[in-house]
Structure 1
Amino acid sequence: MIFAIICKDKPGHLDTRMNTRPAHVDYLNGLNAAGTLKFAGPFLDDAGKPCGSLVAVEATDKAGAELIAAGDPYALAGLFESVEIQPWNWVFNNPENA
């Protein structure tokens, strides 16, 4: 099942995001290599600066998705104000159905 991990950054923590980005990208590359990552990218504020994240992962259950979210270097660095994890159904433009 696919889970969407929706994260909102703490205000004023852009430096934390940028300093932790290389480790975060390495983490996502590892998930991608394992076939776990479906897609990911940052939310942007009105000025075009990153202010959160959307990461979609394949996991057996919500507990598995929570473990993936907790292992993200951004989460470990305390970047996020909130994290929401929801099961998600990829209906339109799913490349696996093309």
Structure 2
Amino acid sequence: MFYALICNDKPDHLELRMDTRPDHVAYLDGLKQSGVLKIAGPFLDPDGKPCGSLLIIKADDADAAKAVADGDPYAKAGLFETVDIRPYNWVFNNPEA
């Protein structure tokens, strides 16, 4: 099953995001290599600066999806104000369908 991880940064935490980014990217690379990560990228504020993240992952269940979210270096660093984990039905342009 697919899950969407919708993460919103805490206000005024851009510096923490940038400082933690190399570890975050390495984590995502590992998820990609294992086949878990399908899509990832930042949300942007009106000035074009990152202010959150969207990940689409493949996981066996909601607990496994939460474990992926909790393992993200951004989450461990306390960057996110909220993380919403939702089951996702990838209907259009799904390369696995």
Confirm or deny a common fold (TM above 0.5). Answer: yes
Structure-1 residue corresponding to 2:4: 4
Residues 1-98 of structure 1 aligned to structure 2 (within 5 Å): 1-97=1-97
Q: Which runs of 4+ in 1 moved over 3 A?
A: none
Letter in 2 for 1:45: D
Write the deviation string for residues 21-56 of structure 1: whole angstroms up to 9, x where unpaired. Answer: 000000000000000001100000000000000011
Letter in 2 for 1:21: R
1:41-79 Cα distance to aligned partner (Å, 9 max, x none)? 000000000000001111000000000000000000000
Q: TM-score, normalised by structure 1?
A: 0.97
The CA RMSD measured in Å over matched residues stands at 0.5
Percent of residue pairs identical: 63
Normalization by structure 2: what TM-score? 0.98
* Stretches of structure 2 lacking an aligned partner (at least 5 in a row): none
Amino acid at match of 1:64: A
SS in 2 for 1:68: helix
